[in-house]
Amino acid sequence: MPPATPAANFSTLPLVVVHAASKFSFPSAARGILTFAIPSVFTPSPTKAVSSRPIDPQIAAQRASTDCLDGLRGVAAFAVMIFHYSCLVYPNIRDAYGYKGNTNLLQLPGVKIWYSGGFMVFLFFVISGYVLSARAIRLMLRRDRDRILPVLSSMTFRRVVRLGLPSLIMSFISFLCQRAQLLEKPWPHYVPGLRGDIRFYYENLCDLFTFYKWGQFHIYYLPPLWTIAVEFRCSMILFLLLLGIARCRTGPRLLIEALVFVDTMLHERWDLGCFVLGLLAAEIHVGTQEAESQRTKEEGLLHNADATDSFQYYGGADATNQRRRRILKKLGIWACFIVGMYLGSVPTAHTCQTPGYSMLCKFVSHDEKWRYIALPGSFLIIFAILYLPVLQRPLVSPAARYLGRVSYALYLVHELVNMLMGKGIRRAAWALLGSTGMMFHVGFLVGLAFYVSLCLWLADMFMRAVDIPSTNLARWLEEKCVDKS
């Protein structure tokens, strides 16, 4: 049979369209849309049976450490959402307890941190530094250097699609909302009309994924995207750093990482400093895990060789000293967590006029002093969480794990919902409940509950419609492009 010509293929196109139209059913389409609209938390997960299978305890411990960071990322995204909704109602939310006699208990150190949107960005970046480098660090410690290049190549290749496609789609949705006059007119240098809108949108996106501009920028269509631009650039630098130190011994490697961190501070690159601190956290934590794994193997061999000697090894003064060291170590880690919570509660406004933090400002020479106070706080909190199971448990709870899954989608979706509906939600709540006295705050909380529910629902759908397919697309593109010979 002769092959079909392009003209023949084209002539059959109407038949294909007619056949597809004949199969289309509005009830089935509506049923599919309603099914998709059900949040994933209410639908059975096909991976539960797989995840419940018994695994090696060491692998389980390693997985638990990264699972708790996923949960922490979800909690941070949730806190950013709360902050962006609240800051327009409570302008003093950026201040802290003690500023000009402020006695609001909700702004005490350790409490304020839970809705501090600025500090949560530091947690995002340090977590990314840890997660992106942990696997490569583990391979370095195991001297499995042949696998480091494929790992770094894979992460670098997929990063732009993984970060960029959801950001591009969400910003385009915002662009369509602006064209429909659902948002205020852009600024600055805005020229009305379709051509002006397209040009302004293009100019906003130009700085998103580029290596040529490292200054902070504001994208009108989706302001939180500035952190995605930082995430992309800093992750590329992190991959380059990991490639450069891949063959180094542990001592020189740690020295190089420390020098790079000092350089980021000298050049006021707090953002890149967060990623390097995440890398250092991975060095410490993964190194501890690998040393513990090796020690467990050696002790197992010792126990099999001579059970009596093994018992003596753990007995007497040795056991007492080990117990004392464990207690001191745990107290030290708790101290790190408490200090980190205090530093993380730093006010983003009037930092140097706030009691306590004004003293810390004297040790910071940079312009945005609060950032360089928050920076070590983010590292100390994550460091403590990695070593304290009592802090990990709430972060691996079902609620935290769900927030971790939808964290990227929630971060992208919430601000557009806030720009479109935030003011209307608050006004409706106050119109229903009143806006004077205590009812002002009650109305705010009722509106906040509705806003949070709406954002989580939309983020869940965005995760399934865009975020997960973007990850799969990045993996598919890599498989198609990589030379496997």
Rounded average pLDDT over 106-122: 94
What gap in Å lies between CA 36 and CA 91, rounded to an integer? 38
Helix (H, G, I), strand (E, B) or coil at 312: helix
Q: Of the candidates 333, 341, 332, which has an alpha carbon nearest to the alpha carbon of residue 376?
A: 341
Q: How high does pLDDT run on average in the chain?
A: 86
Give pLDDT, residue 452: 97
Helix-strand-coil percent breakdown of the chain, rounded to 5?
Answer: 80, 0, 20
As a residue count, the chain comes to 485
Q: Is the pLDDT of residue 304 over 60?
A: no
Rounded average pLDDT over 357-368: 91
In angstroms, what CA-CA distances link 102 with 113, 116, 444, 445? 16, 17, 21, 22
Neighbouring C-beta atoms of residue 457, cutoff 10 Å: 16
In this structure, what DSSP letter does residue 212 have?
A: S
Give pLDDT, residue 18: 59
Residue 56 has phi, psi (to 5 degrees) of: -60, 135
In this structure, what DSSP letter does residue 268 have?
A: T
Write the pLDDT tens digit of every residue in 423-467: 999 999 999 999 999 999 999 999 999 999 999 999 999 999 999
Q: Where are the alpha helices (DSSP H) in 315-368?
A: 316-344, 357-361
Q: Is the pLDDT of residue 290 over 80?
A: yes
Q: Rounded to two decimals, what is the model's pTM?
A: 0.87
Query: Which of the four pLDDT bands, split at 50, 70 and 90, describes residue 307?
Result: very low
